[in-house]
Amino acid sequence: MAHPDWKVRQLLAEAQPNITSEQWSRLILGERNERYRWILTLLAADRREQLTEAACAQLAADSSARVREETVRLHGLPAELLIALAGDADPSVRASACRAAWPHLEGPARTALLDDPDGRVRVRALLRYHQDHPMPRSVLDSGDLGNEANDALRDCHLERALARHLAEHGDAAQRRLLAANPHLDPDLVLRLAQDPEESVRFEVSKRPDLTEEQRAGIDFDFDPGAHCRPLDWVRALHDDPDAMRRLAASSHPLVRRSVARARRLPPDVVARLSRDEDRVVQLFLAESCDDAPAEMLLRVWQWWTGSLSTPDRPTDIRTSPAETCSATPRTRTRGCVDWPWTIRNRQTNSSNGSPGTATRKYGTGRPPTGG
């Protein structure tokens, strides 16, 4: 954290999973360079890290508008700071704060955002207003939403007549956005699940309000090599063992991949995912889950040649291959040169690894790579 090289401090913020709130706060506030402070705040927000209240307050009053703008996205930001940022002197900060601050704002403050002199702020306020109040077709057709009209289709509570019109007569791009709208009536969801456009059906298949039987009934082709992000609604359930059991049995690869991103999982869920027919599920389990079994880690390393997005996982030495695989004593002492570096790192960081062993492990096999 106190290293003189900025790149080292940045890499720490990008890759280290065990930084405490106090450490994050010291790391960010210790930067005198505005650009570095902005980048670290952005990284903390992206990683959903929670800073101390004192640090949040200091960043909310930072002299840099872009630091304040990223502060809005920090996990667990106190309501009073969101309210203050919604009234910030810089319109980019007000626009960024509008959505998160809205539930905490009194009527006059909401009206001020809806009537803000800056067009970006007015549009963000209007979009947030129509998450609670149905949006009529006249608002969408007015053109006032500009480039953020797509956000309205995806996020806003649309009047029934507008939603039905879009489901029946909208173009494929509009129907695809509508398919992700959380306010959509169930009958329109089922209609879009039978849409002639496959990308629309795929968007419907990712919805959290479907039963797994409904999800399995949607026809779409899934490209196993396509880049995908974990589903937010699945990530929100990572601490719910029953939900993880149910979703780990889903027919949808993206749902199972999202489950595999959990840091801790029940043993039966780990066992199921470690044998998943989708190899990316196994890769994500290896990268993300502290409970990933050793034999699966070795199996994944036999075919995965890319970088690891979470290079120090898993960390529980008790599941180390050196304790569970049928390697010879000599191999266990020297380290298996074909282990992924994550596994070698677990051995190196344990009390069982000597400095000499660590040198041999990092001097052979594949080098550590960030991801």
User: Is 90 exceeded by the pLDDT of residue 336?
Assistant: no
User: Is 50 exceeded by the pLDDT of residue 362?
Assistant: no
> What is residue 143's DSSP assignment?
S
Query: What SS3 string covers 204-257?
Result: HHCCCCCCHHHHHCCCCCCCCCCCCCCCHHHHCCCCCHHHHHHHHCCCCHHHHH
| 206 three-class SS | coil
* Inter-residue contact 173 to 193 (CB < 8 Å): no
Instruction: Give the residue-averaged pLDDT of 70-85.
Output: 97
* Inter-residue contact 58 to 46 (CB < 8 Å): no
d(CA 283, CA 289): 10
- Residue 310: predicted pLDDT: 56
Among 259, 239, 288, which residue's Cα sits nearest to residue 17? Answer: 288
- Residue 308: predicted pLDDT: 59
If you compute the radius of gyration of the chain from its CA atoms, what whole number of angstroms results?
24
Length of the chain in terms of residues written: 371
Confidence of residue 356 (pLDDT cuts 50, 70, 90): very low
- Residue 5: predicted pLDDT: 86
- pLDDT, tens only, 258-301: 999 999 999 999 999 999 999 999 999 999 999 999 999 999 98
Average pLDDT, the chain: 85
What contacts 141, CB < 8 A, 6 or more positions away? none
Q: Which two tokens stand for residue 25?
A: 């706060």
- pLDDT, tens only, 175-225: 999 999 999 999 999 999 999 999 999 999 999 999 999 999 999 999 888
Q: Which two tokens stand for residue 276?
A: 């998943």
- pLDDT, tens only, 91-149: 999 999 999 999 999 999 999 999 999 999 999 999 999 999 999 999 999 989 988 99
User: Is 70 exceeded by the pLDDT of residue 346?
Assistant: no
User: Is 70 exceeded by the pLDDT of residue 322?
Assistant: no
